[in-house]
Chains A and B, each alone.
Chain A
Amino acid sequence: MLEVSGVSQLFGGVIALDRVSFTIAKGDITGVIGPNGAGKTTLFNIITGIYTRTAGKVVLEGTDVSGLPPERLARLGLVRTFQNIELFGGMTVHENVMVGMHTKSSSGLLACALKMPWSVAEERRIRDNSLKWLDFTGISDLAETTAANLPFGQGRLLEIARALAVEPRVILMDEPAAGLNNQETLALSRLIERIRATGITVVLVEHDMELVMEICDRIVVLNLGKKLAEGTPRETQDNPEVIAAYLGEDE
């Protein structure tokens, strides 16, 4: 499904990632973990086209997508969420999700400006279909709230709803549980499982080990820019190298 091979990244003279390779299977929930500074977010930024990598390859279902910009990746079915949620603060919750359907609609600037019949029909379809994702994430009652006024937890749900509206094949989540309380984290893990049940492959970077161990099918461990281990939650938990890497960390 998603294949990362030999990805390296240099910042100035610092090696942030060193020949990282792994494969993610279709329909899996995969966790990328590692101590602070392991290069997890950098890896995400490379896969999603936000940084250009120094070397290596990213392959999505047989297509080489390395170096493609994020908007192209979204069209190919790869989307992400951010650690410090990035919402369109000036718009309502509903409108945020409607932007998520951008790739599923096609009226151009002129068609919209002239209100051509097909763009009007499309607009109606976007408006109606986007409600589905508000329902899915359980924020329908907030549809007309301005996104900037949402509490953090619901902002995170909105970000996920917006990403789902792209109808992706893979969704990458950067620390989805960060800043959530216990109850919200629990609801999040249920939501992630429901996302996977719709056939979407899920990849997450996460610090909350409980969450990772509970919902992930496979785990990739990074340390100091290198891949340290890969396997089922059980295997990685028992891996002495992984334990060593985490010793000295507070967690």
Chain B
Amino acid sequence: MGKGRGESLLVETGYSMQFSQILQYLLSGLSIGAIYALIGVGFSIIYNATGIINFAQGEFVMLGGMLTLFFLEMLKFPLWLAIPCAIAASTAAGILFERLAIRPLRRPTPINLVILTIGGSILIRGLAMLVWGKDTHAIPSFSGDEPISIGGATILPQHLWILGVTLLMVSVNKFYFNRTISGKAMRACAYNRRAASLVGIDVRRMVMLSFAISSAMGAVAGIIVAPLTMVAYDVGGMLGLKGFCAAIVGGMSSGIPTVMGGLILGVLESMGAGLISSGYKDAIAFIVLLLLLFLRPQGLFGKPESERV
């Protein structure tokens, strides 16, 4: 996370150190939280359009990172070209996954879909391992590694990239869903698929589009986080699950609530790791997940819905 580099600069004592340390945790929490948010929004988009929880979502995050590396190292592309190529390739993979596995499924019960997407996730991960091996790779930061000091805490330029890109993605997303025909059509599918198809919306195209958008978002998340965390064939699993936790906190919304969910999780994790114990860091998101599912399945911000059978 580059957190070590920041912490070593903290030499002040007493209250101000407490404060700057907490600020440090907050900032690194927000940037990892932004990643969870992007993945979570991807989850929600597919869920809303199709009712499927895509357990393979995390693999597109991995593909984003690995493909960027592939274009950089193997094809010697410059970074500005490698990134869009990686996003395009991951999106294509997402579309392919929908066409080859999800669409032909004859009995799309929830359990079959869970098993299918888990199988898909393992398959993609396995193929990535066969192609690129098991090594962990580094990707250069977008604009250097010169630390920036803010109120006693230190962050890297890449952190700013993460927050900026997330903000951009979320705004584009909001614009798409609220202002464009295709975005509105997708929202219509989320409300009522049958009604949507009756008014002439091509539901199958919308389903494919939802997979395309969410795999693209996953890839973007994977690319912007890669310079901080490194990439390997197996980074997708945990990141994907954390993204799902964010989506649950946000009540499976594809907008601001899920983004908030991601940020909250990121900050909780970073604070928990810093102040309690770093070993249990990964458990925090899942404890939050279980508590929410038990107590507020409609998400942290949603209103309870009266259930109609």
Complex contact flag A–B (Cβ < 8 Å) = yes
How many inter-chain contacts with C-beta < 8 Å in the A-B complex? 8
| A50-B308 Cα distance, complex, nearest whole Å | 9
Chain B residues with CB under 8 A of A45 = 309
Is B306 an interface residue when CB atoms closer than 8 A count as contact? yes
| A67-B309 Cα distance, complex, nearest whole Å | 16
Chain A residues with CB under 8 A of B306 = 10-12
Is A51 an interface residue when CB atoms closer than 8 A count as contact? yes
Which B-chain residue is minimally distant from A51 (CB atoms)? B309
Interface residues on A, range: under 10
Q: B-contacting residues of A (Cβ < 8 Å)?
A: 10-12, 45, 50-51
Chain A residues with CB under 8 A of B309 = 45, 50-51
Interface of B is mostly: loop
| A51-B306 Cα distance, complex, nearest whole Å | 9
Interface residues on B, range: under 10
Which A-chain residue is minimally distant from B308 (CB atoms)? A11
Instruction: Tell me the smallest distance from the CB of B194 to a CB of chain A, in Å.
Output: 16
Q: A-contacting residues of B (Cβ < 8 Å)?
A: 306, 308-309
* 8 sampled A-B residue pairs with Cβ under 8 A: A10-B306, A11-B306, A11-B308, A12-B306, A45-B309, A50-B309, A51-B308, A51-B309
| A11-B305 Cα distance, complex, nearest whole Å | 9
Instruction: Tell me the smallest distance from the CB of A213 to a CB of chain B, in Å.
Output: 30
Which B-chain residue is minimally distant from A10 (CB atoms)? B306
Which B-chain residue is minimally distant from A82 (CB atoms)? B309
Chain B residues with CB under 8 A of A50 = 309
Which B-chain residue is minimally distant from A42 (CB atoms)? B308
Chain A residues with CB under 8 A of B308 = 11, 51
| A10-B306 Cα distance, complex, nearest whole Å | 9
Instruction: Tell me the smallest distance from the CB of B252 to a CB of chain A, in Å.
Output: 20
Instruction: Tell me the smallest distance from the CB of B163 to a CB of chain A, in Å.
Output: 38
Apart from A10-B306, A45-B309, A51-B308, list 5 A-B contacts with CB within 8 A: A11-B306, A11-B308, A12-B306, A50-B309, A51-B309
Instruction: Tell me the smallest distance from the CB of A13 to a CB of chain B, in Å.
Output: 11
Q: Which 7 A-B pairs have the closest CB atoms?
A: A50-B309, A11-B306, A45-B309, A11-B308, A12-B306, A51-B309, A51-B308
Which B-chain residue is minimally distant from A50 (CB atoms)? B309
Instruction: Tell me the smallest distance from the CB of B306 to a CB of chain A, in Å.
Output: 6
| A90-B7 Cα distance, complex, nearest whole Å | 61
| A45-B306 Cα distance, complex, nearest whole Å | 14
| A50-B306 Cα distance, complex, nearest whole Å | 12
| A99-B308 Cα distance, complex, nearest whole Å | 26
| A12-B307 Cα distance, complex, nearest whole Å | 10
Chain B residues with CB under 8 A of A10 = 306
| A45-B307 Cα distance, complex, nearest whole Å | 12
Instruction: Tell me the smallest distance from the CB of A69 to a CB of chain B, in Å.
Output: 13
Instruction: Tell me the smallest distance from the CB of B258 to a CB of chain A, in Å.
Output: 24
| A157-B308 Cα distance, complex, nearest whole Å | 27
| A10-B309 Cα distance, complex, nearest whole Å | 14
Instruction: Tell me the smallest distance from the CB of A44 to a CB of chain B, in Å.
Output: 11
Chain B residues with CB under 8 A of A51 = 308-309
| A50-B309 Cα distance, complex, nearest whole Å | 8
Which A-chain residue is minimally distant from B306 (CB atoms)? A11
Instruction: Tell me the smallest distance from the CB of A184 to a CB of chain B, in Å.
Output: 26
| A15-B100 Cα distance, complex, nearest whole Å | 46
Which A-chain residue is minimally distant from B305 (CB atoms)? A12
| A51-B308 Cα distance, complex, nearest whole Å | 8
Instruction: Tell me the smallest distance from the CB of A242 to a CB of chain B, in Å.
Output: 28
Chain B residues with CB under 8 A of A11 = 306, 308
Instruction: Tell me the smallest distance from the CB of A22 to a CB of chain B, in Å.
Output: 23
| A12-B309 Cα distance, complex, nearest whole Å | 14
Instruction: Tell me the smallest distance from the CB of B298 to a CB of chain A, in Å.
Output: 14
